[in-house]
Each structure stands twice: as C-alpha cells, then as structure tokens.
Structure 1
Amino acid sequence: MSLPPPSVPTTVPTAPGALPVIGHGHRLARDALPFMRSLRDHGPVVRIRLGPTPAYVLTDPALARRVLITDAAHFLKGGRVFDALRGFFGDGIATIADGDAHLRNRRRLQPMFNRAHIAARTDPMVERVRALVGSWREGQGRDVHADMNEVGLAAFLTALFGTHLPDRLAAEFTRLMPVIMRGTLRQTILPDRLTRLPLPANRAHETNLRRLRAIIDEAVDRARGPADADPTRTASAAHGCPHHIPQGEGLLQTLLTAETPLSRQQLQDEVITLLVGAVETTGTTLAWTLYELSQHDGITARLRAELDAVCGARPVRHEDLDRLPYVRQVLQEAIRKYGPVWLTTRKAARTVDLEGHRIPAGSDVVWSPYLYQHDPLVFPAPERFDPDRWTPERAKEARGSFLAFGAGRRQCIGEAFAWTELAIILATVLQTWSAFRLTSRVPRPRAVMTVTPDGLTMAYDRRARPLAEAG
C-alpha cells in the first residue's frame, strides 16, 4: 500500500490592519478580544505581527492541542510573549525552557500541590478570607476586582508562607502586583527597542521588579527560620506528609526542606510565577463571577441552596468541595466566558506543516483559550452565562475547547489549588453577604494580563443568619 502524498503547504492568510513597526500591536492594545475573535474568519491558521515579528495564530482548538500535546516536542515554550514575561518571572515553572531543568523544577514543585497539602492549608485560608470579606462595610460601593485581587492574594500568601506573614509585607504585595502586571503587558506588545530605552515607564517597571524580589526574599527568610530550628521537619515535608507541617506553616516549606534546595534566585522566580498564577487569575475570575451573580438571581439562589445544604451555618471546609458541584460549574463558566488567559505562545523548533499550513522554524505560534472558549459552534450563544454547560453530560462535548489551564506537559501545575482557592472564596462571600448590587455601569472585558473588567463596583447586604465560628 502506498502512502498518501504529503499535503501541499498553503499560504497562511495575514490578518488585515497591520501598521509599520508595531504590526498588530495597536489592535492588541486597543481591542484585543474582538480582534482575536475576528481571526477565526480568516481560517484555522492566521499570521499576525507582534511588533516586527510575525506570529501564527491557531484559531482551531484541535490544532492548539496538537501543538501542546501531540507535537509538543516541535513547539517549545517561548515566543514574543514569553520573552517579555521571562523578564518578570525569570526561570519560574511557567517560563523556563523545555528540557531537563523544567522537568526537575516541576518535580520539586509538584508535592506543594498534592491534595493532602492543599487540604491542610484550607482552614487557615478560610479564616483569612472570612476576616477580609467580613470587614467590608454594608451597602458601600466597592471596587470588586481590587477586592477579589486582595482576597485572592491574602488567601494565597497564607497558603504559601503560612499564617505569620507580617501585614506590611502582604500590603506591599497587594500594591505591587497590579502595577507590575500592567508594566509587563506593556513590554509584551511594544517592540524590543522601545522596552530597552531608559524611558520613565521602563525604569519604574525595573524598580518595581527589584522591590518585588526584595520582599519575596524577606518573606522566604521568615518562612525559612523556623525550619532551621527544627530539623526533624525536613524529612516529613520532603515526603509530602501534611500532618507533620507545624501549625501556621505554609506550602513553601516543601521547597525549603527539599532534598535538593533551590537557590535564592530560583525561589524568587517560582514565587513570582505562583503569585501571578494563583492571584491575578483568581481575582479576575471571582470579580466576573460576582458580576454575573448580580445579574442572575436564579443562579445565585441555586448556589446558596447548595451551600446551605452542605455547610449549614458553619464555614466551608476542604471536605465539602466535592459536594459542591454547582459552585464548580459557576466558576468554570466564569473562566470560560472571561478567559482569564487570553493569549500565549510557543516557538516552532523546526518547520512544521499544520493542516497544510507551513509554520517556519523559529516562528511564534499563538494559541488563545479565550478564542476557543467563545467558539459558537462549541458553546452556543457564547456571551450567555450558563453554568449548566458544565453538567457532566454537556461538559463532554466542550472539554476539548476548554484550555484555560493549558494542556500537556506544561499544563498549569497549580490547577487543583486554583479550584480550591476559587471555591472557598466564592463560598465565603456567599455565606457572608446576601445580595450583590451593581453600582457602576455594566463592565466591559479588557485584555491586560488577564481579561479584567474595565470598571466594576458593587454594594453588598449582609446575610441575616451569621455563620458559626470555625472549629
């Protein structure tokens, strides 16, 4: 039997509207999400320009899965976006090059995110979240995205560093992270030569990055101190036994007590990566979730009924999460509709033929979870908020197009933690407040590092039935 002839590469269409020097950068800065959705009209592979650099956007999720899983050896972590992010993350787990170093670091980090370790940190996270959420003033219009970023960051810092992190360090993390994320996006879409100039914005970004690394060092040193005083913890933490983690310690102990310790630079890089992955995306997802609940009383009522049936008048616990399927559906629908990751890249290690489209060696290959999760052929009426898309029966049809956490060997290492953090924060807000009232205009999605609301304030009414005290 003779083999079929190889496919003849076709010309990859180029998206219209590119400008000299900046390429499609103005579209990505001004109306990135409509621009990404428009690329589907030009075919499964479309060429755009990131500054002067050509990039190939995959509008078909099946091609994205081929790049991420089947042919992953030919599409390495990298590209214009990751080159800019590496200046922020360093060689953290999300941006380190493929190869032995990535596998070694992933194995080091994996014990942090096993189910038992996450469960052991849930109660301190719930306590911290309850304190923050309960401190809001009733009836006061609040910046929801800022609130959710603060709550998400507080929960994550408690899980990572333990319960003894000074408030001043937590406050500085809260101040720095949004500013640095905006500066990183700017460096992603601008040409290299502009980001290297000694402009005020570039200098401020570098100053903020240095300060972030300095406060990470201080937080790590505080977490490291007790471990040095009790060497018996090294073996138990290294073997992933959460019952031997003393009260108040965080997930970071599994790195600080590993058999092969990380250098100070490596610890900084990993903490920055985890901060972005567990905080920025968490805050964005929760902000959009609360907005949607303010618009859908029926969904909110179903959530409250499920929480009341499982938790009653006590705070949520880790063992409750598997019995809250509708909470998970609501959160998954918020992630589907609003990203939060909207664009990421790989670099072609060699010339590859993707469904008849020739991708030259060294090219940036772009895949967009936001684009796939708004495909009307997979998600009818994609702008409608419908948690029932994620019932077990319907979810099977859509699973191949849900790529918010990536896929393959570079899939998000903290996905299980993210679902836990999202669920306990949403549950705590619902248990504390009875109503969410929009006090701003309807927000519009804006592509920054995540898909954020461009303005969202809400007021809350406290629930009449107080929660019982934890424990």
Structure 2
Amino acid sequence: MTRPADPSPVSPPRYGCAPGGWPLLGHLPRLVFRPLAFLDSLPGHGDVVRVRMGTRLVHVVSHPELVRRVFTDRRSFDRSGVLYEKVRALLGNGLATCPNAEHRDQRRVLQPAFHPSLMDRYAAVMTAETQALTARWRPGAVVDVTEEAFRLTTAVAVRTLFSAGITPRAAEELREALEVLLRGLYTRVVAPAVDRVPSPARRRYRRALARWRTGVAAIVAAYRAAGVDHGDALSLLLAFRDERGRALSDAELGDQVATLVLAGAETTSSVVAWALRLLADHPGAAARLHAELDAVLAGGPVTRADLPRLPYTADVVREALRLYPPAWAITRTTTRGTELAGMPLPPGSIVICCLYLLHRRRELFPEPDLFDPGRWAAGEVPRDAWLPFGVGAGKCVGDAFGTAEATLAIAAIASRWHLTPVAPRPPRPVPRLVLSPGPQPMRLAERTPGAARSSNCKEQKP
C-alpha cells in the first residue's frame, strides 16, 4: 500500500453553530432530504458544529485531531444513547454496536473469521460470485449498478458466512429484508419518533425485521443441530469458547451474524457502486485502470494472487473510499464531562465524527472534490487523515476482507465491461446507514482487452 504523506498543517479547531434550523424540527429536514449538501455547508461554521435534530443537540466533528481523539478516548466517548439503541434494534449487540466495555471480548470472537489463512478461500468465493453475476449481463442491457453491487456482496457475505445449508431462496429473502431495513434505519436514527407513527413504511420495516431475525435464527439452529465444521465463519463462531469455556448463545450468534452481513454486504457494495460510477464519469482514470488490468490479467480472470500487481486498481478503491466513505457519520456519546474545540460537553452529549467531511478538507487533500486515484502513488494523502475503517481499538475487523473484495470486483468487472450511465446527471446519494449512491442505471458494453485509451487521469469533480 502507498505510504501516506506527512500531515499538512491544520489550523486549531473552531467551534460553531449551524444556522437555519426550523422551529421544533431543527435541521432534521435537511439531514433527511439533502444530507450531503447540508454537511458540505458545515465547515464554513467550524470544525465542531452544533446541529439540532428535533429537540436533540449533536456536535458534528470534522477536524482530524478531534476525530482521532473521539475514536481513541474510550473513557470519554462510547457507543451509547438513543441513536445506538435504534441501530441495535436491527444489528443487535454485536461488534459494530456494542459498548466499549464489551468490545475487546467481542473482537476476540470475530477475529478468527478474518484470519489471513482464510483469505484465499474467501477471495475464491468473491471472484466466483462476481463471475456468476456478470455471466447474466448482456451487451446493450441496462442494469442498476447499485443493486447489482449489493446483490454481489450479499452473496459473498452469505457464502463466506454460511457455506452450507442455506438455499438460494433463503439467501434472497435475507437480502430483500436487509435492503428494506437499511433504507429505513437512517430515518429512525435521525428522527426516532417516526417509529411511533403508523404508516405503510413502518409496517414494511417491521415485517422485514421479523423476516431477518427469523431467517438468521433458522440458519444458526440448522448449523448447531448438524454439528459439522463447514470451515466458514459461522462454524468458527459456533466453535468459539471464552476463558470459562462458555459458548455463544443463539442470540449472541445472531448479533454477530448481523454484524458480519452488514459489514460484508452494505459497506462493500457502496464502495463498488461508487467506484464504477466514478470511473464511468472519468474516462482518463478508466483508461489507466483498463491498461493495468489488460497488462496484468491478459484477458484472464482476476485472482487474489494478482492483487499486488494491481496498484492502480487498489488506488481506485481507496479514492472511492475517500470521497464516499461507507461509514460516513460515526456517532459517539460522552460518558463524562469533556470538551471539544474549547466547548464544554456534559455527559450524554452526542458527537458525530463525519468522515465524509474529514476526507474532503482542502488543507489535507489537494483538490479534495476531485476523483484522482493518482494522488495515492504521488504521496498526496496525509497520514492519519484517511480513516474509512476507523482507528485504534475500534478499527473495523474486516477492513482487509472488504478492501480485497472491492478490488477484485472492480478488476473483474472493468476488465470485461464498459458501463455508461443512462442519465448523465450525478447520482444523488441516498441517506442510509452507509453512504449509498442510490439507483444507478448503466448500459453494458463488452470490451476487448488491450482497448484501453491513454489519457490524463485527472478529471472533473464527481
């Protein structure tokens, strides 16, 4: 991986307040309907900006020093409060949502599922599922790239988690339920009262939640009853014993499965979908990518062994993660009195670390809104300013898995296909638990290896 540059000087953090809040609602309408446009306006008011979400005050942080402090000061900032209660209603109390006091033990549970010795097996699943997906594509057809990416990464997550005992129909039901849940969760996080209002959307959400829990419970029960080690992630979880020899309960297994499916499906699919769109909008970068893929793969399928020889492909993934980090807004709650940018915060204060803003700071990234994978090889990425997987003890346990999957998917798709957006207008990001590009219909055209055109990779803003 390219070594990041030393950090550029960053001015001391400033505290400010977001203007334009509505009576009673505060800034909720802007967070629900135009979240990125609203976030883009905040740096003009400070590095820690107070925002009103209904009756609640939250503090949006985008200064690199303060983001790292919130992530690493686990005595002052924890995953608790009403926002995490809503997330736990979907994911349970797994590694991604548990309080700090439980995080170390839970990480020990999941760490074996991401051991480097398993990555060759996982990579084979990733490439096989990508080939199965694109085998259904036809030249001239139009596909929704966002939906296809989600279908791909969900299939990979299911096969690496449950390599035995799950039917294609059961896998599709899990995918459909997860799609509904992820659409509805962001609204419930920013406006918890929506869950108390009877509506068709609330009924769909609750039905999907019930289907999700029932489906996961059935898979866990089948594995437990079979008593066979299938060599997959769920078998590892079933075999886990703590220091006292205690196995995980069905509820604990369900929580960890939910965490793994979300991390393996929604976050990675977002990266793949954004990268494919950015490449379609920036033909210079696409030509450079195609040249690398043609030289390394020579028309053959991509494997994990090829990854070290695909540095530009990896930089495309890194640049997509910089511009559109899946975990774009990460919440913490203060557990004791502290301060940020000189502003005292009492216990119970809500802090949102906005990686979307951090990754676009002008003093850290030259031309920050530009999609330029070449900045990585040029050493233009400051150390500690790129944090798509978090930092410290809470860093994502599946970062290597997700990065490999996204890189393999981009390589497999771009080596064989040109994708042209049906609508030239930029995609409108959809507020979900991760930063999704929303529907992206794109027309398919087969490409011949060696047809890459040389061009400067620096292009217009995304």
Q: Say whether the fold is shared (TM-score over 0.5).
A: yes
- Paired position in structure 2 for 1:362: 348
Q: CA deviation at 1:155?
A: 1.6
Residue in structure 2 matching 1:314, options 300, 316, 326? 300
- Paired position in structure 2 for 1:81: 83
Q: Spell out the pairing of 1:52-451 with structure 2 (5 A cutoff).
A: 52-69=55-72, 71-99=73-101, 101-162=102-163, 165-192=166-193, 194-224=194-224, 226=226, 228-229=227-228, 233=229, 249-259=231-241, 260-391=246-377, 393-395=379-381, 397=382, 399-433=383-417, 435-442=418-425, 443-451=427-435
Tell me the matched-pair count: 433
Q: CA deviation at 1:223?
A: 4.1
Q: Is the 8 A contact 1:342 1:447 kept in 2?
A: no
TM-score by length of 1: 0.86
Q: Is the 8 A contact 1:25 1:189 kept in 2?
A: yes
Give percent identity, aligned residues only: 34
Q: Which amino acid aligns with 1:156?
A: A
Q: Which amino acid aligns with 2:141?
A: Q
Change in CA separation of 1:465 and 1:357 when aligned onto 2, cut-off 3 Å: closer
Q: Is the 8 A contact 2:15 2:342 kept in 1?
A: no
Farther-moved stretch of structure 1 (363-372 vs 200-209) = 200-209
Q: Per-residue CA shift, 1:168-203, capped at 9, x if unaligned?
A: 0121122122211111112112144x4234444333
Farther-moved stretch of structure 1 (328-337 vs 340-349) = 340-349
TM-score by length of 2: 0.88
Q: Which amino acid aligns with 1:32?
A: P
Q: Is the 8 A contact 2:84 2:97 kept in 1?
A: yes
Change in CA separation of 1:138 and 1:163 when aligned onto 2, cut-off 3 Å: farther
Q: Per-residue CA shift, 1:405-430, capped at 9, x if unaligned?
A: 11121111111110111111112112
Q: Which amino acid aligns with 1:95?
A: T
Structure 2 CA distance, aligned partners of 1:25 and 1:98? Answer: 28
Structure 2 CA distance, aligned partners of 1:296 and 1:465? Answer: 19
Q: Is the 8 A contact 1:111 1:254 kept in 2?
A: yes
Change in CA separation of 1:57 and 1:376 when aligned onto 2, cut-off 3 Å: same
Structure 1 CA distance, aligned partners of 2:289 and 2:342? Answer: 47
Is the partner of 2:270 in helix, strand or coil? helix
Structure 2 CA distance, aligned partners of 1:329 and 1:350? Answer: 40
1:51 matched to 2:35? The reply is no
Structure 2 CA distance, aligned partners of 1:266 and 1:43? Answer: 41
Structure 1 CA distance, aligned partners of 2:201 and 2:84? Answer: 20
Change in CA separation of 1:138 and 1:219 when aligned onto 2, cut-off 3 Å: farther
Q: CA RMSD of the aligned region, Å?
A: 2.2
- Paired position in structure 2 for 1:5: none
Gaps in structure 1 of 5+ consecutive residues? 1-9, 234-245, 467-471
Q: CA deviation at 1:464?
A: 4.4
Farther-moved stretch of structure 1 (288-297 vs 160-169) = 160-169
Structure 2 CA distance, aligned partners of 1:271 and 1:392? Answer: 39
- Which structure is higher in helix share? 1
- Paired position in structure 1 for 2:7: none
Q: Is the 8 A contact 2:143 2:441 kept in 1?
A: yes
Is the partner of 1:154 in helix, strand or coil? helix
Gaps in structure 2 of 5+ consecutive residues? 1-12, 451-462
